[in-house]
Amino acid sequence: MFEPVKNQRVSDEILQQIREAVLTGKFQIGDRLPNERTLAEQFAASRTSVREALRGLEQQGVIYTKKGVTGGAFVADLDHRLVSRSFQTLLKLRKVSINHIAEARLIFEPEAARLAALRASPQDLNELEEVIEKMNSVVEAGNPPNLFDLKFHKLVARAAGNPILEMLADSMLEVASQVISDLHPSLEVLRHVVKRHRQVFEAIRSKDGDLAFTLMSQHIVDVQRRLGPANGNRRKVRSK
C-alpha cells in the first residue's frame, strides 16, 4: 500500500539516474559520460558514491571505463551477453545438474540448427567452417579442443538468428564445458565429434533444416551417452 519514503543509498540513486539516461537514449552507444569529479558535483555527492554507482553500472554491462587522459566511462553496446551472464550465475549458484543442462540442450540446439539452416548468412557459414577446421587441426595435434567445440555450438546458435537462443547456448555451454573437458576424451572420440560437426555444417549449408535438426540431436545424445556412465540417472523419461 505505502511506499518506502526514502531508503536508497546515494550511489543507488546515482546509478538509477545514469541508467535511465542511457536507456532513454540521452547518451548514445560509445558516448563518454562526464568525468567522475564532474558527476560528483552535478549529483551533489562525493566521488566515492559516484564511483560505487559506476561499478554497479559496469557490472550491469551498461558502461565500461578506460583510464588515462582520453579515459572515462563510456556507454557500452549491450547485447545478449547481459542476460547470459546473469543466467550463468543462476545456473552455477543453483547448482543445476549436468543432466538438466543436457536435457535443455537437447530441446534447444536441434531447433537452433534447423533455424540456422534457414537463416545462416554467408559469414556465419564461413565462421562455422573455420572453427571446424581449427578444431580438427588442434585435435590432430593431440591437444584438447574444448574451446573450438564450444565455439561451434555457439556459432550455430548465433546463425539461428535469435538472440535468445544465442544467450541460452552461451550460458549452458559455458557451464557444461567445464564438466565435459574434465573427461579427457580420446582421440578417436574427438575425431568423431569433428566428423559430426562437419555433417551438421553440411546440412546447414545446404539449407536442409530437418537434417540439421536430426544430426544435431544425434550429436548431443552421442556426447551425452559418453557422459552417461559418469552420472547415472539420465534419459529415464521419454520412453513412453
Interface residue list for a copy of itself (CB under 8 A): 11, 22-23, 48, 51-53, 55-62, 78-80, 82-83, 85-87, 89-96, 100-101, 103-104, 107-108, 111, 115, 118-119, 161-165, 167-168, 171-172, 207, 209, 237-238, 240
Instruction: Determine the distance from the C-alpha atom of residue 78 to the mean position of all C-alpha atoms in its chain, rounded to a whole number.
Output: 13
Closest contact distance (angstroms) between CB of 142 and a copy of itself is 20
Helical residues (DSSP H) of the chain, grouped into ranges: 10-23, 36-42, 47-60, 81-93, 98-119, 122-140, 146-159, 163-181, 187-205, 209-227
The residue count for the chain: 240
Kindly state whether residue 11 participates in binding DNA, applying the rule CB under 7 A.
Answer: yes
Nearest Cα to Cα of residue 129 among 56, 198, 191 = 198
Nearer to DNA, 12 or 174 (CB): 12
Closest contact distance (angstroms) between CB of 196 and DNA is 43
Nearer to a copy of itself, 185 or 209 (CB): 209
Interactions with DNA, residue window 16-35 (CB under 7 A) = 33, 35
Closest contact distance (angstroms) between CB of 20 and DNA is 18
Nearest Cα to Cα of residue 102 among 222, 215, 211, 185 = 222
Q: Which does 200 bind (CB under 5 to 8 A by kind): a copy of itself, DNA, none?
A: none
Stretch that binds DNA, among 39-47, 84-92, 201-209, 225-233 (CB under 7 A): 39-47
Kindly state whether residue 60 participates in binding DNA, applying the rule CB under 7 A.
Answer: no
Could you give the CA distance from residue 113 to residue 151 in angstroms, rounded to a whole number? 14
Closest contact distance (angstroms) between CB of 12 and DNA is 7
Nearest Cα to Cα of residue 229 among 188, 193, 185 = 185
- Residue 18: burial class (beta carbons within 10 Å; 0-12, 13-18, 19+): buried
- Cβ-contact 105, 220 below 8 angstroms: yes
Kindly state whether residue 76 participates in binding DNA, applying the rule CB under 7 A.
Answer: no
Q: Which does 22 bind (CB under 5 to 8 A by kind): DNA, a copy of itself, none?
A: a copy of itself
Closest contact distance (angstroms) between CB of 137 and a copy of itself is 18
Nearer to a copy of itself, 86 or 214 (CB): 86
Listed in sequence order, the residues at least 6 apart from 15 whose beta carbon sits closer than 8 Å to its beta carbon are 53, 56, 57
- Residue 62: burial class (beta carbons within 10 Å; 0-12, 13-18, 19+): buried
Binding site for DNA (CB under 7 A): 9-11, 33, 35-37, 40, 44-49, 51-52, 54, 65-73
